[in-house]
Amino acid sequence: MHTIYTGQLVGAARRIDTDEVRKAIAELERAQAALADHIASELGIRHVSTSFDIDEKVGSHFAPTYRGQPAPDEIRGLGVGSDWVENHEEVPGPEPKTVVGTLYIAPGNRYSRIFAIPYPMKPRQSPADLPPNHMRTWVQVGTMNADGKIVALNPSVSSYRNELEGQVAGTFMDAQWLAPAEEA
């Protein structure tokens, strides 16, 4: 058996240079870009771009969502070193914007989704009472299993982990978090 890695395979394919090969390479770039988008969303950072470089390596480029944001531990040891990893205070980025809103544990079957709602609830109001059209502004920031254990939580609301863990579906609380650059 002979193993050829993705970058090497793309290099060999580019020498063939047919329409089908160009389409397949574009699909690989789109697939990695989609994966990078998901990772960035989970880590609370920005995915800037994805492309094959001159050495036939596909690379995804990430950046902070706000000035002073440290690079997440999950990506620190990966890829090529950067100013962001080495000295995050020096890396330019947008000023962070604080959002005052509501964290809501939405009922689910096996898992409950945790949403950041970009506005506080009024007295005697619950997120469950809101019409469905209000949900378009909600952002999923975490997942909780049926036992109340947090499975995933976006770093922007990680300071609420202890308050969220162990709560039941339907629970909501006032909260503040740093908005990603797109919301700022």
- Annotated domain spans of the chain: 6-90, 97-179
pLDDT tens digits, one per residue of 23-74: 888 888 888 889 988 888 777 788 888 877 666 677 888 888 777 778 887 8
Q: What is the pLDDT of residue 80?
A: 67
Q: Token pair 């997440």 is at which residue? A: 72
The length of the chain, given as a count of residues = 184
Contact assessment for residue 61 and residue 31, using Cβ atoms and an 8 Å cutoff:
no
pLDDT tens digits, one per residue of 130-170: 888 888 888 888 999 988 999 988 888 989 999 999 999 99
pLDDT tens digits, one per residue of 73-112: 787 777 666 777 777 777 777 666 788 999 999 998 889 9
CA atoms within 13 A on the CB side of 145: 4
Contact assessment for residue 107 and residue 169, using Cβ atoms and an 8 Å cutoff:
yes
Q: What is the pTM of this model?
A: 0.51
47 exposed, middle or buried (CB, 10 Å; 0-12, 13-18, 19+)? buried
